[in-house]
Every structure is written in C-alpha cells, then in structure tokens.
Structure 1
Amino acid sequence: MVTTLLIADSGDFVGRKVACLSLTFGGLHADRHAGNTRRADARTPWHPRGTPIANTRQLSLVSLEECEEIAAALGLATLDPALLGPNLVLQGIASLSLLPPATRLQFPSGATIFITEQNVPCRHPGARIAAAHGDSRLAGAFGRASTGRRGLLALVEREGVVQAGDSVRTVPLRTARPHLPRVKS
C-alpha cells in the first residue's frame, strides 16, 4: 500500500507531501529527478562524468518496514521516511529493497513503474537524519544501517496517477524461457 507521496520540486533533497503523483514517461514533472535523461555521475563511472544518459532514477521508493529497521540499527525510536528523499513510501512489501531489477509495481490507475536498481546509501539522507535528531554521529552511521534497506530506484513504464492509500501490485520478473516459435528446416 502507498502510505505517503512526496515530490522534491523546491530543489531540496527532502520532498513535500502530496495527495497524488502524476507519473509521466519523464518521471514527476518538476521533481529534482525528472526527465528522460540525466548526467552521468559517480554512480556511472563507465561514462565520462556529465555525459547525458538515460534516466533510470526517475523515482525513489522506500518502505515503512525498512525505515523501522534502519531506525533500530541507528538506535532511534522512529525514522521519518521523508528524510531518505523518496517519492513513494510503501508498506506491506516484504524486503522491498531486495526486489530484483525489472520487477514492476502497478497501481490501480494502471500506472506502472519499472525497478531499475537498489538505491545505495549516500551522504544526503545521513546528513538530514543527523540534523533532524541533533546527533552528528548518525550521518556516518546511516550508511551501515541502511545497506540493503535503502529502497529502490525506478522509471515510469506506464503513465498514470498514484494516490496515497493505493494498493500496489508486484509483477515479478519473468524467469521462465519465453515461448519461441519453432522454425522448420
């Protein structure tokens, strides 16, 4: 289930809460990660930095369950998922961060997102968490605490609207061999 929707349209890492998101093939209009392309950076060292590449980071997802695990690992009572910079906060998908790439998440409107990769820990959320809790040690501890629980990155496969409270259908990667027509020789 979708519990919270956020959009980072002010240039800030932490987004503002909204009731619905209109997903387009370019991501979320005005969000800091919107667009069909992005610039290569430290996450894509096989391309020269700054080179335009396909945007596989249009959306960021986290789960309430994994936020609770990160909070426990940091010794916090709670962790506001918004501090991790997501667009969608989900509940009820076991081990969300471990869903494999090419898994799809589909919403009642038909909107579908395509998981591209696991979101690895970075310094931005650690700094936000440290500031929010007034404890500078949390900035460095976040990386270890969130490894394998930081959420996922995705792109929009089918346009549509996602609303807070929506159910989420997981469409797993098909691992069976596709049917190939027989060729007569």
Structure 2
Amino acid sequence: MTDLLSSLENTTVPEIAPSRRISGRVAGLFEALQGHFGTQAADVLELSFEGIRGDYHAGLTRKSGGREPWYPRGTEMRNERQLSLVAPDELAVIAGGLGIDEVKAEWIGANMTVEGIPFLSMLPPRTLLFFEGGVTLKVDGQNAPCKFAGKALAENTGAADETAMSLEFVRVAKRLRGLVAWVEKPGVVKTDEKMEVRIPEQWYYPG
C-alpha cells in the first residue's frame, strides 16, 4: 500500500505508526452542576449522548467561541467538548512551572483525572477510551489552555496578580492541559475504574 501511495505523487510517504493499546485508571471524577465552569468531586458520572447529565458543558451542540474563528461567535455547532480529561502528573508539571504547590483538576473545570497513560495530552484525535463499565469516549483533541481557566486557577490559589497568573497559565500549560472528548457510548463511569486506550494509526500529512 505504501508503494502504491508513493506512486501518486512520486514521493516518499511518511511513516505510518501502527495502532496500539494502553491501560489506565480513572483517578478522579468531577462535574459542573452549579451552572458555572468549576467542577466538584463525584463518585460516578452518568453519561448520555449529550455528555454528563446536568453538567455545564452537556449538550449535543454548543455555541462557537474564540476557539472557532472561522464561525461568527455564537454559531451553533456540534459539541465535541463534552468532557475534559487531565493527568495528575501533567498538572504537577504545570504547578511547578507556575511556582505554586498544586493545580487541582476542579479549579480548571476538568471532569476526569486519568492515571497510567504517559503523555495524556498528546493522545491524538480519534483515540478511543474504553471503560470497564461499558462507556466509550472519543478524543477530539488537546484542550488548549485559556485565560478563563487561568483566571479560575488564580482565584483558587489567591494569586496577587490574577491577570498575570492567567496569562502565565496559558503559556505554561500548553500541551499539558489535557484532552476534550465526547460520548460515543453512554453509561456510568466510576472512580478507580480501569480503562483501555486505543490509539489509531498515526501519520503526518505530506507537503
């Protein structure tokens, strides 16, 4: 197949990395049921095709914002950001970079902390997360850090200069902010539940 692809443009096709599987664990669950960004710890998450039932980010669709400059702000679009997943080791790196003791998942609106997956934030789009209870999430991509989350972090840590902290968070948390995902198969996820990550084939588009 690689040789056939090469003949299309008479050039070398980039290496294709095969799919693979990694095992992990749900270390913590959080939900935003108070009508705002911040999350609170939960023992379980009830997931429908709209996301977490009653959560701030639930919905089959959402309004576009600054992340989608190709649409007028407020355009209704598919909600691919139903859940936010982070890794404790990456949060620790962010905290170190900001010179603070810790970054709690709920301070930046995360719904799930995941352990056992190296470089969680670098999992590629289309990665599938299979939970032992039957739920499946599909990764949309990295959750780019924003000043909104940075401001919430600054407020929770009592930063002397909230504006400076929020801007620094955007810089420090790049590639470490975790992932956003949507529900492919609904059900219930529990704390300490085992999960399997299935990474699809990967390649760089040539040119």
TM-score, normalised to structure 1, is 0.90
Larger radius of gyration: 2
* Maintained 8 Å contact 1:71/1:77: yes
My pick for the range that moved more, 129-138 or 80-89, is 129-138
Give percent identity, aligned residues only: 38
How far apart in 1 are the matches of 2:167 and 2:68? 23
Number of the residue aligned with 1:156: 183
Q: The residue matched to 2:84 in structure 1 has which SS?
A: strand
Q: What is the Cα deviation at residue 57 of structure 1? A: 0.6
Question: Matches of residues 142-153 of structure 1 in structure 2 within 5 Å?
Answer: 142-153=169-180
Unaligned runs of 5+ in 1: 177-185
Number of the residue aligned with 1:2: 26
Question: Matches of residues 102-181 of structure 1 in structure 2 within 5 Å?
Answer: 102-135=126-159, 136=161, 137-175=164-202
How far apart in 1 are the matches of 2:202 and 2:114? 25
Q: Deviations over 1:27-86 (max 9, x none)?
A: 111111111111122111222222211110111111101001101111122221211211
Number of the residue aligned with 2:104: 80
Q: Deviations over 1:79-126 (max 9, x none)?
A: 212112111111121111100000011101110100001100111221
My pick for the range that moved more, 44-53 or 96-105, is 44-53
Q: What is the Cα deviation at residue 175 of structure 1? A: 4.8
* Maintained 8 Å contact 1:3/1:91: yes
- AA of the residue aligned to 1:155: W
* Maintained 8 Å contact 1:121/1:143: yes
Unaligned runs of 5+ in 2: 1-24
TM-score, normalised to structure 2, is 0.81
- AA of the residue aligned to 2:152: R
Q: Deviations over 1:149-184 (max 9, x none)?
A: 0010000011111101011210111459xxxxxxxx
* Maintained 8 Å contact 2:129/2:138: yes
* Maintained 8 Å contact 2:94/2:172: yes
How far apart in 1 are the matches of 2:63 and 2:155? 29
Is 1:29–2:53 an aligned residue pair? yes
Q: The residue matched to 1:83 in structure 2 has which SS?
A: helix
* Maintained 8 Å contact 1:13/1:124: no
- AA of the residue aligned to 2:189: V
- AA of the residue aligned to 2:168: A
* Maintained 8 Å contact 1:107/1:169: yes
Q: The residue matched to 1:5 in structure 2 has which SS?
A: strand
- AA of the residue aligned to 1:82: E
Number of the residue aligned with 1:183: none
The alignment of Structure 1 onto Structure 2 pairs a total of residues equal to 176
